[in-house]
């Protein structure tokens, strides 16, 4: 998939503040400083779209970008950023959990994992939570320009073991570098295929409801077709 346009839409601090859920959405999440904003800039080819900072915890809001006027990329705040104020931290986590659990247009969450480190407890806990909440996700191992391939193989193996232990088939895994652009094509191809699937499903739903309307308008006295049981996608 080619990125033809990428525009900032809005920064939200709650689910209510998010834009209408009318396009397929893909969210990037991961520990603070893992490289979420940098990867969004690399994927879109706009170096200043998402703010990058050497200070962990820079992204504090849900930041929406409209890509190709067709789908949303969402830059989520990093988890595990030790905010001093406990109440502020709880509010912050509630915002992310509300979004992940309730956002109807969310197609997939990309969990970014620092490829230089063995599986971290925070990442494992978060992945386990996603599996328990039945939220579709993929893993993206970031900063591979700084990683030895043996280290990365080991970490991938740790996550594969976790998936086996939890009885799920392995989640899709990607390796990326915002420095070299590694992984960009694979990620965009994957997102493109998922966007196409959503659009095809919507077309099918529309065709079905169109067929029902035809039946309702049928004045020949023929038996009306039963209404579609497929819930409309929003």
Binding residue (CB under 6 A) for ligand GTP from 93, 154, 179, 214:
179
Question: What single DSSP character describes residue 70?
Answer: T
Q: Is 30 helix (H, G, I), strand (E, B) or coil?
A: strand
- Binding span for ligand GTP by CB under 6 A among 4-12, 142-150, 151-159, 191-199: 142-150
Task: Give the Cα separation of 79 and 19 in Å (integer).
Answer: 22
Q: Binding pattern to ligand GTP, positions 75-114, x when CB under 6 A?
A: ---x------------------------------------
Residue with tokens 């929003």: 234
- Could you tell me whether strands 71-75 and 62-67 are parallel, antiparallel, or unpaired per DSSP bridges? antiparallel
CB of 112 or CB of 195, closer to Mg ion = 112
Starting from the edge strand earliest in sequence, which strands make up the sheet with 25-30, in order?
Answer: 6-12, 62-67, 71-75, 25-30, 106-114, 137-142, 173-175
Q: How far is the CB of 90 from ligand GTP (least distance, A)?
A: 18
Q: Is 35:178 a contact under the CB 8 Å cutoff? A: yes
- Separation of alpha carbons 102 and 134, rounded Å: 12
Touching Mg ion, residues 15-54 (CB under 5 A): 36-37
The mark string for 143-162 relative to ligand GTP (x by CB under 6 A, - otherwise) is x-xx----------------
Exactly one of 105, 142, 147, 155 binds ligand GTP (CB under 6 A); that residue is 142
Subset of residues 59 to 88 that bind Mg ion, contact rule: CB under 5 A: 59
Q: Say how many residues make up the chain.
A: 234
Q: Answer yes or no whether residue 54 interacts with ligand GTP by CB under 6 A.
A: yes
Q: Interface residues with ligand GTP (CB under 6 A)?
A: 30, 32-38, 52-54, 56-59, 78, 142-143, 145-146, 177-179
């Amino acid at each position: 998939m080619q990125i033809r346009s990428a525009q900032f839409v809005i920064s939200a601090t709650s689910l209510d503040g998010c834009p209408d859920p009318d396009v397929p959405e893909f969210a990037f999440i991961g520990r603070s400083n893992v490289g979420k904003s940098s990867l969004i800039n690399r994927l879109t080819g706009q170096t200043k779209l998402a703010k990058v900072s050497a200070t962990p915890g820079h992204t504090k809001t849900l930041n929406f970008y409209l890509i190709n006027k067709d789908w949303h990329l969402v830059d989520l705040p990093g988890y595990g950023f030790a905010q001093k104020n406990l109440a502020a931290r709880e509010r912050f986590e509630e915002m992310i959990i509300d979004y992940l659990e309730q956002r109807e247009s969310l197609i997939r969450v990309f969990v970014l994992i620092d490829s230089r480190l063995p599986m971290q407890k925070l990442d494992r806990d978060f992945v386990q939570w996603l599996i328990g909440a039945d939220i579709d996700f993929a893993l993206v191992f970031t900063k591979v320009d700084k990683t030895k391939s043996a280290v990365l193989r080991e970490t991938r193996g740790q996550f594969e073991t976790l998936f086996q232990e939890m009885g799920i088939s392995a989640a899709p895994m990607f390796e990326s570098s915002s420095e070299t652009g590694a992984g960009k094509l694979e990620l965009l191809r994957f997102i493109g295929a998922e966007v196409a699937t959503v659009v095809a499903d919507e077309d099918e739903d529309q065709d079905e409801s169109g067929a029902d309307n035809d039946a309702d308008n049928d004045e020949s006295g023929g038996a009306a077709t039963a209404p579609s049981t497929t819930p409309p996608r929003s």
